[in-house]
Chain A
Amino acid sequence: MNTTAWERVGVVFAKEATDNLRDRRSLGSAVLGALLGPVLILILLLVLGKALFNQGEKPLELPVQGAENAPNLIHFLEQNNVHIRPAPADPQAAVRNGDVEAVLIIPADYGDAFTSGRPAMVQALYDSSRTSAQPTYSRLSSLLEAYSRQVGALRLQARGISPAVTVGLAVVKVDVATPQSQVLIFLNMLPYLLMFTIFSGGAGVIIDATAGERERNSLEPLLINPVARREFVAGKLLASLPFAFAAVLLSLSAFGIIFNAIPMEEIIGFQMSIDVRGLGVIFLICLPMVLLASAIQMIIATFARSFKEAQTYVGFLPLVPALPGIGLAFLPVKPALWTMLIPTFGQQILINQVMRGEMVSALNVGVSVAVTLVLAVVLTGVAVRLYEREQILFGRA
C-alpha cells in the first residue's frame, strides 16, 4: 500500500483529466477561449483592413460649390480620380454633421483673380475632429496644392523663369514602415488575446475540481483518503495544464493559419507571416503563464462558495492582464528589464517583439520566466494552505 507522493498526485491528475475530458463545459470553455482571439483578428483584418488599405484607390466623392467658376481646376480634379458632386444647400452644416467629409467652395470671383495672376481663393471645408474624414481631406488638400504648383510653374515659365528657383527644399518622403509593421497595429492585440486564452483554457478544470467538488458534496469524502492536501492541490492544478496548453496551441495554430494560409495579399494588399519558429517561441513564453493562471484560479475557486460564484470571479480574471495589454496597443513600451518583473506584462512585450521579428534578449526572457514561476509557486503554496484549513469543508476557505 506504500506509494510515493508523485504516484498519489498522478492518481488525482488522472482522475481529474479523465473526468474533465468527459465534460462538455470544460472542453467548450477551453476551445471557445482559444478561438475567440483568432476569429476576432480575422474579422478585424477583413473589415478594417479593407477600409484602411483601399482608401487610396477608391474615387474621391467631392461635393463642390461653384464648379462652373473654375472649369480647369475641376478638370484637373476629375483627372485625378475625383468624382465631382453637387454641394449640399448648407455646406458648413453638412460637414459639421458628418453628412459629407469635405466640401470645396469656389467663389464667383475665382475667374477674375485667376486671369489677373493673383492667388485665387478656394475654400476647403472639413472637420478636424472627425478622424474618419482625415484621409479625404488630406487627399483633397494635396491635390489642390499640386494644382497650385502646376499653375505657378506654368506662369513662371511664361515669364521665362525656371520654376525650380521657387523651390528651396526638395523633400523626399521615405516611409520605412514595412508592410508588416503597418499590420502590426492589429497584431498588437494578439499578446492580450493569448493571455485571454491562457486564463480561460484551464479555468473549467480548476473550477470543476475545486468549487465543483464542494458543490457535488464530494469534497469531504475525498479528503478522508490518506493523501496530503498539497498532493490533492498539485494533482488538480496539474490536471488543468494540458487543457490550457492545448488551448494556447490551438489558438496559436489558428493565428498561424490565418496569417499564412489565407491570401492576405488580396484582402489588405500585402502578405504577412509569422513562421512556425516564431509561433514556437511564443508558445514557450506562454508556458509559465499557464501555471500562474491556474494557481490564481485555484485560490479564487477555493474561496468561492459555489460553482456559479467561482465562475463569475474566474471569468473576470482575464481582464487583469488586459490592462497593460491595452496600454501596449497604444503606447509602445520598450522591452526594458523592469517590465519583465510584471508577470503577463513582460510576456506580452516579448510576444510583441517576436511578432515584429526582433531579437528577443535571453536575459529578458529569463527574468520574465523566473518571476512568473516564482509567483506561481508562491500562489500554489497559498492554495495548499487554504486546503489545509478545516474551513475548506464549509466553503470560504
Chain B
Amino acid sequence: MIEVKNLHKAFGSVVAVEDVSFTAANGAITGLLGPNGAGKTTTLRMLYTLLQPDRGSAVVDGYDTASAQLEVQRRVGALPDARGLYPRLTARENIRYYGRLHGLKGRELEDNISRLINWLDLVEVADRRTEGFSTGERLKVAIARALVHGPQNVLFDEPTSGLDVMSTRAMRDFIRRLREEGKCVLFSSHIMQEVAALCDQIVIIHRGRVVADGSPEALRQRTGLDSLEEAFVKVIGSEEGLER
C-alpha cells in the first residue's frame, strides 16, 4: 500500500510536482494519468526513493520513502522510464544480478527467475545476450528484474510505451495478474484508453497537481459525462492528454 501526502518537488525554479496526494491500495490497479510533463515521472521517482521530496511525504507499507529508503526499496519493484539492460549479459544474468542485489541466492533466486521467465514468455531468449533484443523483449527483461524479489508494491512508469498491439495486450494481462496476487500496482500513463481499460482507480495529474481521483465510474458521475475521454478533457481543461 502506498500513501502519498502533499508531495512537492522543484528543480531550481522549475516546479515539477506542486501538490500530489493519493492512496494506492493492495489488490488494486491505480493509474497515474496526465499529459507529458504533468509530474508523473517525478512523483514515481520520489516513491522509489531516487528523489527526495521538498515537502510532503510518501509512505510505502508504513515506511517513509525519505527516511527509510532501504526498507522501501525492498518492498518496491519499479520499472522506471530508463530501462536499459546490460547488453553483454544474458537475459537471465540481467535478472539474476538484481535478485542478488536484493540478497537472494541459490534455489530461491533461480526459482524466482524461472517463474518470471515463464510468465513473461521469455523462455526462448532467456540465455541469449540482450544485445539485439526487440523493444518488447527488453521491456519484459526489465520487468522481470524489477520483480525478481517478489515485491508487494509495483511501480511502472509508462509500461506500454513503444510496444506493439500484441505486446500491449500481454502487458495488460500481466498487470491484471499482479492485481490477482494482491499486489499494489501503480502505473503512470498519458494514454486515456490504457488507464480506462485497466484501472480500479484513476489519479489525474495536471501541472503537478491532482485534479481528479476516483474509480472510472465515479469520474464519469462527477463530470456528468458518459465517456471517460470527455471526462478527462473536462477535468484538465484541454485536450493535450489525448495523444496515443
Residues of A within 8 A of B (CB): 1-3, 7-8, 11-12, 15, 18-19, 22-23, 216-221, 223-228, 390, 393
Q: Given A3-B103, A18-B89, A19-B86, does the pair A226, B74 have CB atoms closer than 8 Å? A: yes
B27 close to A (CB within 8 Å): no
B76, B83, B103: the one contacting A217 at CB < 8 Å is B83
Cβ–Cβ contact B104 & A220, under 8 A? no
List of A residues within 8 angstroms of B97 by Cβ: 11, 15
**Interface pairs (8), CB distance under 8 Å:** A2-B103, A19-B88, A217-B82, A217-B83, A221-B82, A221-B146, A224-B73, A390-B50
Cβ–Cβ contact A225 & B85, under 8 A? no
**How far in angstroms is the closest Cβ of chain A from B79?**
8
B98, B101, B142: the one contacting A8 at CB < 8 Å is B101
List of B residues within 8 angstroms of A8 by Cβ: 101, 103
Q: Which of B78-106 contact A (CB under 8 A)?
A: 78-89, 93, 97-98, 100-104
Cβ–Cβ contact B88 & A390, under 8 A? no
Cβ–Cβ contact A218 & B102, under 8 A? no
Highest count of chain A CB atoms <10 Å: which of B83, B84, B102? B84
Cβ–Cβ contact B76 & A224, under 8 A? yes
B48 close to A (CB within 8 Å): yes
**How far in angstroms is the closest Cβ of chain B from A30?**
16
**Closest 7 CB pairs between A and B?**
A217-B84, A218-B84, A226-B73, A216-B84, A217-B82, A3-B103, A225-B101
Which partner residue on chain B sits nearest A227 by CB separation?
Answer: B101
Query: 1/0 per position for B37-62, CB-CB distance to A under 8 A?
Result: 00000000100111110000000000
Interface extent on B, as a size class? 35 or more
Cβ–Cβ contact B88 & A1, under 8 A? no
Which partner residue on chain B sits nearest A20 by CB separation?
Answer: B88
**How far in angstroms is the closest Cβ of chain B from A8?**
7
List of A residues within 8 angstroms of B49 by Cβ: 224
A223–B70 alpha-carbon span in the complex (Å): 11
A12–B86 alpha-carbon span in the complex (Å): 13
A220–B100 alpha-carbon span in the complex (Å): 17
Highest count of chain B CB atoms <10 Å: which of A12, A220, A227? A220
Cβ–Cβ contact A221 & B86, under 8 A? no
A18–B100 alpha-carbon span in the complex (Å): 14
**How far in angstroms is the closest Cβ of chain A from B64?**
15
A12–B93 alpha-carbon span in the complex (Å): 13
Query: 1/0 per position for B141-166, CB-CB distance to A under 8 A?
Result: 01001100100000000000000000
List of B residues within 8 angstroms of A12 by Cβ: 101
Cβ–Cβ contact B48 & A19, under 8 A? no
A217–B76 alpha-carbon span in the complex (Å): 20
A393–B97 alpha-carbon span in the complex (Å): 20
List of B residues within 8 angstroms of A220 by Cβ: 50, 80-82
Which partner residue on chain A sits nearest B149 by CB separation?
Answer: A1
- With A3-B103, A226-B70 given, can you name 9 additional A-B contacts, CB distance below 8 Å? A11-B97, A217-B84, A220-B80, A224-B48, A224-B49, A224-B146, A225-B73, A390-B50, A390-B51
A2–B73 alpha-carbon span in the complex (Å): 14
A13–B172 alpha-carbon span in the complex (Å): 36
A14–B73 alpha-carbon span in the complex (Å): 22
B50, B52, B102: the one contacting A226 at CB < 8 Å is B102
**How far in angstroms is the closest Cβ of chain A from B113?**
15
Cβ–Cβ contact B100 & A221, under 8 A? no
B82, B89, B104, B142: the one contacting A1 at CB < 8 Å is B104
A8–B104 alpha-carbon span in the complex (Å): 11
Highest count of chain A CB atoms <10 Å: which of B100, B101, B104? B101
Cβ–Cβ contact B82 & A219, under 8 A? yes
B50, B93, B100, B103: the one contacting A223 at CB < 8 Å is B50
**How far in angstroms is the closest Cβ of chain B from A296?**
25
**How far in angstroms is the closest Cβ of chain B from A360?**
42
List of A residues within 8 angstroms of B73 by Cβ: 224-226
List of B residues within 8 angstroms of A2 by Cβ: 103
Cβ–Cβ contact A1 & B102, under 8 A? yes
A225–B70 alpha-carbon span in the complex (Å): 8
